[in-house]
Amino acid sequence: MLRLISCHRWQTFIRTGVWVRWCSTSVKPKSQQGSDQTRLNPLNIQMLSRNLQEQIFKGRTQEYTDEDVERSIAHLEQHKLWGKEAALLPDVELKLPQMYGNDIDEHFSLLAQKQSLPYLDAASHLQRARLPRMPVEWAWEVGWTRYGPGGERQSVNFPDEKAIVFDVEVCMEEGRCPTLAVAVSPNACKRLIEDRYTWSSDLTMADLIPLETPANSTQPRVGEWKERLVVGHNVSFDRAHIKEQYLLK
């Protein structure tokens, strides 16, 4: 069915056996008397109140041809819906935030670009990068260990790069909690080793893998969460073992 947002209305009458339709901008059924904010389309369907329409569509209206309206009316008649009156809903008086662009399409397009840009940049950087060489020798140390391109290694709280490829391994015969995790970025390789292989049923956040906060903390070091990209295979499985995924904020 055609969606119409014009302010005109169409009415139907039977005159000498012939259906006659005309446009009316002033006469409204008593049950459809609204405020000056009320807007009806040619099919007597209530539209956005004038206050919202002016903010979202910048006051622009759309005109439709007689053919479009006639086709819509015929469709309503086919389903026995044409001519039925409905009570008007109260008009909405709401001040919306400033929109981006010239219309609602541009607003959401620009908003999506703004919010996704950090992740697109991280993915592009990761796609163009060459992976570092794997360490010749892995340290058997609990927690995250970073292996630099020159073979140096150091203990870290978590991988802090903007984009990483990540994987988790679980010793399923002993439980469902993480045993080993690896992460690789264009700058370094990292591996996490848990301090045990068997688990009790009483687990805490400290038993999960930290990816954004230190092991004994639930807040980022600088007080703000950063946009980061984590790439993996069957990521719903890996995600279930990440500590930060269980934080409420």
Active-site residue identified among 167, 195, 202, 238: 167
SS3 83: coil
- Indicate the pLDDT class of residue 13, thresholds 50, 70 and 90: very low
Judge whether 105 counts as a catalytic residue. Answer: no
Torsion region of 112: left, alpha or beta (phi above 0 gives left; psi -120 to 50 gives alpha): alpha
pTM, two decimals, is 0.64
d(CA 124, CA 11): 57
pLDDT at 70 over 90: yes
> 227 vs 119, 162, 219, 224, 243, CA distance in Å?
7, 7, 15, 10, 17
What is the predicted pLDDT for the residue at 2? 30
Tokens of 102: 């010239």
DSSP state of 46: B
Q: What is the mean pLDDT of residues 208-220?
A: 87
Query: With pLDDT > 70 as the criterion, what percentage of the chain qualifies?
Result: 82
Bridging pattern class, strands 18-24 and 9-15: antiparallel
- Alpha carbons 213 and 244: distance in angstroms, whole number: 8
Tell me which residue has tokens 């927690």: 143
> Contact 105/157 with Cβ under 8 angstroms?
no
* Burial (0-12, 13-18, 19+ Cβ within 10 Å), 114: exposed
Quote the pLDDT of residue 196. 61
Q: Where are the domains of the chain?
A: 9-96, 97-127, 143-246
